[in-house]
Structure formats: structure tokens, C-alpha cells
Structure 1
Amino acid sequence: MPTVSEHIDVPLAPAPPPRMGRFLALDMLFEGGRMFVGATSVLYLLSRGFQLQDIATLKSVQAAVVLVGEFPTGLVADVVGRRLSLALALLLGGAGFLLFFACDTWVWFCIAECLTALSLCFWSGCYEAYAIDSSGLASSPQHLDRFFYLNQTCNSVAVMAFGFAGGLIAAHGVGLPYLGAALTFGAAMAWLVFVLPRDVHDSRVAAEHTPLRVHLRNAFADGILRPAVLPLFLASLLVQLVIQPILHYWQPLFQELDPSVETTALGTTFIAYAGASAVFGSVYAAIAKRAWVRSASFMLTLFMSFSVLYMLVGQMRAWLPALVVFCLLQGSLASVRSFLSARINERITSSSRASVLSSLSLFSRIGMMGALAIIHWQLSGRDGERLSVVNLYNLFSTVSIGLCLLMVIFLLVVKNDKKRT
């Protein structure tokens, strides 16, 4: 019979998994609201008397606002509060979609584009920071992979569902999807206010009274310049560099691979690869707790699989085999991006999480813009001859494979250095 002074070892019950569903639902409403107009936005602007060059100008305005506002909005989230920043994102986005629906002049459309761009800036980085800290994921890093892969799966489902609904509604009025997007953002606001918990970061910031310059310095010291984060940041930057043809030029790729492909087949392709991303995410979420999933060798395997599939898709000469490879490519891409997000969030501090994520996103967008500049330069051709989209895919996939080989060399060097020490 042990005395009261003796220590008795009692096995601790495992910590309950964080409650992620409420936060995933919020992001689904945000992404779904944006995708409400995804299938009809160009048609709507053309119906309001705009020309293609006018639409390009609007998108340039959006890109400029996002580039300028990305980092400051992340800083606001860390200084003022993540929940308030998400509310601003929903308010600005809803107002922007309402302006698109109700107005008909260039100035107001430009203002609407600025509002929706600012909405995206406030959401970027802030949502992840709020969800990770307020759900308990910050203290349960083994659940981070599951969160990001489930988030990818839910967003893919939302994109398919809301995009399809927007197309149906547009048959009764090409501007109605914008009204639907605004209402969806309103529903997301109600969910944020009445269902989701308070921002646990607010009280910590108020207690610390951290000066703004300190937050600014920490955003880089804890982020891009931190040795544990820098390799992951560079990997994210390189992913943004090589994936632009996949995001923006997959439709002309399929038309070039199989000239007989119809427009309806392209719609099927969109649904198929979004579904494949969801399947990959759900399968990976089931194994995300295992230690080998978070290893450097697994990251290299993901990158290599992505690069090989990238190369293969340009070698197909019929729609169906190209569709199969493209779906696998999209699934591997979703896995790579979720893996990097989980690893980065493991290695940054909660106090400056939104600022760090926004700064990473900012530089990733610069990489994206650089890749798009290369694409447009390549597609313009030389001596009046245009480069084919297939060759464009081959070019970027070759770069991707080369980057994988550099990663192998880097990992081998690090491994040898560790053995010597």
C-alpha cells in the first residue's frame, strides 16, 4: 500500500483532437463565396459593356492592391486581432460583390475590385493564424497536417459546389452570382460572430503592448530570416514559380493535346481535378499524424512525384489519359502545398503568426508575377512564331525536376555534415 508521499505513475489520457470543423466551415464559406462568380465573371463584365482590355486592367488593379496590402493587413491582424481582421475581410468582400451587382460605371467597378482585393489581403494568413491558435492546433503540432489537408479537401468541395451553383443561377441573370457571393459572405460573418470562439491572441497582445516596430521586426526574424523556416519559404517560392502554367493555361493545354476536345469536356476536367484534390486531401488527412509524413524525405518524394507528373501531362496525346495524369498532378500539388503550410506553421511563433504568413505570401506573389512574366515572354515567341503551350509545360516541368535534384543534393550535404559532427 503506497503512502501519500510516494509517487504513483498514472498514464495520462491523450489530449482530445482540436475542434477544427467550425473553422473549416468558415473558410469554405469564404472560398465558396468567391467562387460563386468564378464561372461567369468575365461574361458578366462583357455584358456590362466592358472590353477584354478593360477586364485586364481591372485584374491589374486587383494584383496591385494585393501586392501592396498583403503584408500590412497581416501586421494589423497580429496587432489588432485576427477575428476583427476576418470580419473586415468579410465586410469588404461583401461590399465589393454588392457593388459589382448594383453599379455600372468604370469607377465603381474599380472600387469594387479594390474592395474584394483588400478582402483577400485581410483573409490571407489571418485565417490560418486564427484557426491554429484559437482551435488549439498551436499546442498540437501533430494535428497540423490533418488540418491543412482537410482544409484543402473542404475548399475543393466548396469550389465545385458554389461554382456549379453560380453557373445555374447565372442562367436566370448573369449578375445574380455576385448577389449570391455577397449573401454567402454575410452568412460567413454570422458564423464568425455567433459560432466561432473569441480570438485567444487578443488578450495576449493587449497584455504585452508590443510596439508596432517590434511586430514588424519579428515578422521577418521569425519568418523568412529564421533558419528553420527559410528552406520551407524557398520551397514555397519555387512552387509558386513553377505552377503558374498549371493554374492559368490548362484549358489551352488540353485543346492543344487533343484538338477534338469540346468545351463541355473542359468543364468535366475542372470538376475532375477539383475532386481529385479533395480525395488526395481526405486520404492524406487520415495518415497525417504519423511521424514519417512530416519528414524531409517525404517532402522530397512529394516534390519528385509532382515534377514527374508535370512532365508526363505534356506527353499525352488524347483527352482521357491527359485527364488522368492531370488529376494526379493536381492531387500531388495540393499535397505539396498543404505539407509546406503545415511545416511552416510548426516553426513560427503564435505572437507574429499572421504577419509571418502574410510576408511569406507577399514574396510568393512576387515569384508568381515573375513566372507569369516569363510565360508571357515565352508565349510571345521569337520571329513571330508562338511557343506551344505543351512546350511551356515541358519548360516549367524541367525546371521543377531540376529543383528536385538540387533538393536531393542539399539534403545529402546536410546529412553528411551531421554525421561529421
Structure 2
Amino acid sequence: MVKRNLVIYPLYRFFISMLIIGPVLVPFMLFKGLNYSQIMLLQSISAISVFLFEVPTGTIADKVSRKLSLFLSGIFAAIGLLLYILFKNFYIFALAEMLFGLGMTLSSGADSAILYESLKQIGKKEEYQRREGNAASYIFVGQAVGSILSGFLYKYNHFAPFWISFGNLLIASIIALLFFEVEREKSEHRYTTHIFKSFGIIFKTPRILWAVCFSALMGFVIRVGYWLYQPYFKEVGLDIAWYGVVFFLFNIVAAFSSHYLTRRYSDERPRRVLLSLGTIMALSFLLPIIFIAKWAIALLALQQIARGLYRPTMNFYINHQIRDKYRATVISTVSLVSNLSFAILSPFVGIMLDKTGTVMSYLFVGIVAASGTFALYLLRKRQKARSFS
């Protein structure tokens, strides 16, 4: 029965992530009457919602049921997307982002936890990175094909890509009901005690504390990178008809990174790999504004290398450090911090886009990525020095 989860997991991850709206989301929001400042404010609201819901939903997965948490994830995300389809009001969109954030937090931590625990129970936990990477690669390939389709569908009907994505979320919820709940150690503590003990684990474990700090950096730079694609396309004069093709190529790079590079660097120390991803992200923002041209869009694909490697590497790193009964809550806390950093910084990027333009916005994010990566390198060296002293 546990082995069944290994088949269901990539299917669930595929459909919960198969939102084919990526290439047309910013144009769609502009079509709905929003400006860049409002768009980024909505993303900040979404991130704050994730911040508020992340740990409570992680605790539901730890103390109640992984399967229930994954089922509800698709339901709430689908309702949020439906509000975007049916309405044209900033405050309704804010509610939609809250619901979408709630949906995403219900799967955050619970999905990777059920995979890791399933593999652990059958004595194959060393396969985690490979299976996580494979699942992500299927998603990226699906999103690559969906990116091209969404461009054509959007020109035919602005709402078509959103209805298809809505259906995929409902399919994910149905698939979640097929999971087998793995026998595991559950926390015997009450809700608040469980959370405080999970926080205590984070602060007392240097490696997890470092992961939380790194998550704060990458949570901002990876997510804000997506919202800066369309302004750069506009800056270099790329026709909207090509957006889907570019996103197709981006997702192919992410799929390659997730499938092949995850295996290639699985024996490397995770923190070393993660620091390399931080450097790659810094270059992906700074190089395109040195060479402002259509061909420089290829430099943005560096972000897809980080996107493909980040989740498998980070989740394996964290899962390896914690016990079953705190697993989903600690993973959710790491995700919580990444969303908090995005919530704080993303509105500034939206204001910069409206006031100073694309180049200065890219420069700002590039400097944040470079300085943050260097600071984390120093923190890693300091922690290692303490462990040997």
C-alpha cells in the first residue's frame, strides 16, 4: 500500500502544479484593469496569507492527516482561481489570493513529507532527491507544453487557460484521496506546544536555521523573477505572441535541471549546491541589464536552473535533519519565511517598475541576490567553524 504513494505522488504534484496561465497571467491582470503596483501588492497579500496559514496547515498535516491536507489544497486553490475568472475587482482579487495562498500552504510540507516517509518506510529514503526531481521535471515539461497552448488559447479566449487550470486543481484533489496514510510518529503535544517545539528545533539546529535564512532570500528572488519577465519582454520589444514560446523554453531548462542536474549533484553537499543557486540567481538579474536585447532573454533562463534544483535540494536537506512528527511543520516554517520576505519586498519592486522602470528593478533584485548569497556563505563558514571548535 505504501508503494502506491510513489505512483500517486508525481500525478498529484503534476496536476496541482499544472496551472498553464504563466505566460499570460500578467497580461490577464493588466486586462482586468490592474497596474504593476496593484499586481505586486496582490502578490504581497498572497505571501502574507501564506505566512499566516503556513504553520497551522503544516500542523494539520502533522497532527491530523497528510491526505486531507492535500485534498483541501486543490479545493481552496480552485476557488481562488475561480474568483479571478468571474470577477473584476481588486478586493475580490485580494480574497482570491488569500484562498489561493491557503490552498498552496495545505500542500506545502505535506506533499514532500508523505513522499519521504513512504520511501523511509520501505527503506529507500536515499531515492528522495531523484523521485522529487523526476516529479518536478514532469511538471516543467507539462508547463512547457501548456505555455505554448496558453498563448494561443489566450488569443482565442482570455479565460480559456484559466478554466483549464481550474479543472487541473480539481483533478489534483481527487487524486489526493488515493494516497495511503503512512504509519508514522505523530506529535503527542497540543497544537500550540507542537508549534513552539517545532520553532525550538529550528533555532537549536544550525543547519535548519541556515536553511530558513536561505529560504528567505530565494523565496523573494525566485518568485519576483517570474513577475519581472513580462516587463523585460516589453523593454526589449518582444511580441506577446512569443511569450508562450519563451516560457516553453524556460520550462524545458527547468525540467532538464530538475531531472538531470539533481542527479548529477546529488552527492554534493546540499549547502554548497544551494549557494551556487544563489549566485546563479544574482547573475540572472544583473547580466540582462548589461546586455539589454532580445537575445539576452536567454540569460533569464539561468533562473530556471535554480528553479529546477532548488526544491529537491532544499527539501532533502531539511527532511534529513528532522523527525517525522515535526517534519511538515518545520518544512512549512521554512516556506513561511520565504513568503514573508517576498511579502515585504515585492511591493517595492512593483513601485519601482511603475516609477523607475525595468532596469532599476532588475538592478535592485540582483544586488539583493548577490549580497544575500555572500552573507549566507559567511554564515555557513561561521557555523562550520563553531562546530569544529
**Which bracket does the TM-score occupy, shorter chain normalised?**
0.7 to 0.9
1:78 to 30, 48, 62: 62
Q: Are 2:71 and 2:176, in contact at CA under 8 Å, matched by a contact in 1? A: yes
**Where does residue 249 of structure 2 map in the other structure?**
272
User: C-alpha displacement at 1:210, in angstroms?
Assistant: 3.3
Counterpart of 2:292 in structure 1 is 317
Q: 1:353 maps to what in 2?
A: 327
CA shift, 1:278, in A, is: 0.8
Does the 8 Å CA contact 2:21/2:150 hold for their aligned counterparts?
Answer: yes
Q: Equivalent of 2:177, from 187, 193, 196?
A: 193
Matched residue count:
385
Q: CA shift at 1:379, angstroms?
A: 4.3
Q: Does 1:247 align with 2:231?
A: no
Aligned partners of 1:399 and 1:166: how far apart in 2?
Answer: 32
Aligned counterpart, 1:117: 101
Report matched runs for 1:2-401 at 5 Å: 20-32=6-18, 35-39=19-23, 51-52=33-34, 56=39, 62-97=46-81, 114-136=98-120, 140-170=124-154, 173-194=157-178, 196-201=179-184, 204-205=185-186, 209-256=188-235, 258=236, 260-290=237-267, 293-320=268-295, 322-379=296-353, 386-401=355-370
Distance 1:58 1:294, change over 3 A: closer
**TM-score where L is the length of structure 1:** 0.77
C-alpha contact 2:287 2:299 (8 A) present in aligned 1: yes
AA aligned to 2:340 is: I
Per the alignment, do residues 262 and 133 of structure 1 end up closer, same or farther by CA in structure 2, a change over 3 Å counting?
same
| Match of residue 11 from structure 1 | none
Q: Counterpart of 1:9? A: none
- Establish whether residue 405 from structure 1 lines up as the match of residue 374 from structure 2: yes
* Residue 209 (structure 1) shift: 4.3
- 1:43 and 1:307 mapped to 2: Cα distance? 26
Cα RMSD after superposing both structures: 3.6
Distance 1:391 1:96, change over 3 A: closer
Structure 1, residues 351-376: CA drift from partner, whole Å, max 9, x if none?
12221122222221111122213324
Paired with 1:418 and 1:42, the residues of 2 have a C-alpha distance of 47
Which ranges in structure 2 are unaligned for 5 or more consecutive residues?
A: none
Q: What TM-score do you get using the length of structure 2 for normalisation?
A: 0.82
Structure 2 vs 1, CA of residues 87 and 399 (structure 1 numbering), >3 Å: closer, same or farther?
closer
Distance 1:131 1:275, change over 3 A: same
Structure in which a larger fraction of residues adopt helix:
2
With over 3 angstroms needed to count, the CA separation of the structure-2 counterparts of 1:403 and 1:138, relative to structure 1, is: farther
Q: How many Å separate the matches in 2 of 1:310 and 1:188?
A: 34
Whole-angstrom distance in 2 between the partners of 1:226 and 1:284: 28
Contact 1:242–1:371 (Cα < 8 Å) also in 2: no
